[in-house]
Amino acid sequence: MNDEESPGGADYRCGFAAIVGRPNVGKSTLLNALLKRKISIVSPKPQTTRHRILGIVTRPQAQIVFVDTPGIHTDERRVMNRYMNRSARTSLADADVTLFMVEALRWMDEDQRILETLKDNGRPIIALVNKVDKIYPKDRLLPYIGELTRRADFKEVIPMSGLKSINIDQLFETVARYLPVSPPHFPEDQVTDRSERFMAAEIIREKLTWRLRQELPYGLAVEIERFEVSEDDKITIGAIIWVERTGQKAIVIGQGGLGLKEVGRAARLELVHLLLKPVHLELWVKVKDNWSDSEAALRQLGYDSN
């Protein structure tokens, strides 16, 4: 961005836009598409996103702070589930506009429950109909969008695809119109509020999720114990993978340690790409009984901060 395009001016707009929807509807994929880089991990498994993550997009006319939220869900039996719902609701309370994401041609009871929550919140709601790239012919969308507009007083309805970056520029321009006139909140070169240490933990957890799929439930977390940059600009990362039961430890490690080696290799390659430096990655697997249902354990693992 050159000097003539630097953000600012009397009509400049800036604010927060919360991306909300049921688990696995495509919120993190959209955030990555908006930033044209990966800051939020993605997997086919629901509840992959556990934290509120800010993605900051700065353009000459506006700065939008997009907030990727954990998927809102009705199961609050465990402390982890309650934490994720609390994180999502906090994001709603802080947002200037809400982006309600649904999947094209699908409407579930969970979508309706989330929509009722958004109506009570009182913020302007823009509906995002995601995954339209999978719909043929496109005129099949018209009845669905018509029914959607009767469910709430949406300010706008945008058919889009985070995966294929369809209507991403239109989304930015539309959201900007509903933000307050304000100078930017963040430097123009900042793209997220999360540290490299946080991103390293998330990338390792993503690779674990992709490799294990259905073998391991949600009871694993990653804690970065060591993140050091040497004088020759090499990064050494030491991470603990926490599981909830001894039997899960063997699943993560795999036969002959092969599973852990594969996760480490995939994570290291992505970290090199992200950090643009050589990376040495060390992984250990340890057991912390029932950590996802313990307030104290969640705080220790960094789940009390957003």
Q: Residue 58: pLDDT band by 50, 70, 90 thresholds?
A: very high
Give me the CATH topology for the region 196-300.
GMP Synthetase; Chain A, domain 3 (3.30.300)
In tens, the pLDDT along 184-213 reads 999 999 999 999 999 999 999 999 988 887
Residue of 140, 137, 171 whose CA lies nearest to 157: 171
The size of the chain, in residues, is 306
- Taking every pair of C-alpha atoms in the chain, what is the biggest distance, in angstroms? 63
Mean pLDDT on 56-67: 95
pLDDT of residue 1: 47
In tens, the pLDDT along 116-164 reads 989 988 899 999 999 999 999 999 999 999 999 999 999 999 999 999 9
Contacts of 13 (CB under 8 A, 6+ apart): 61, 62, 63, 176, 177, 179, 180, 181, 182
pTM of the model: 0.86
Asked if the 3-176 domain carries CATH number 2.60.120.260, the reply is no
> Is the Cα torsion angle 14, 33, 220, 235 positive or negative in sign?
negative
In tens, the pLDDT along 210-262 reads 888 766 656 789 999 999 999 999 999 999 999 998 889 999 999 999 999 99
Residue of 8, 13, 48 whose CA lies nearest to 27: 48
Q: Residue 94: pLDDT band by 50, 70, 90 thresholds?
A: confident
Contacts of 231 (CB under 8 A, 6+ apart): none
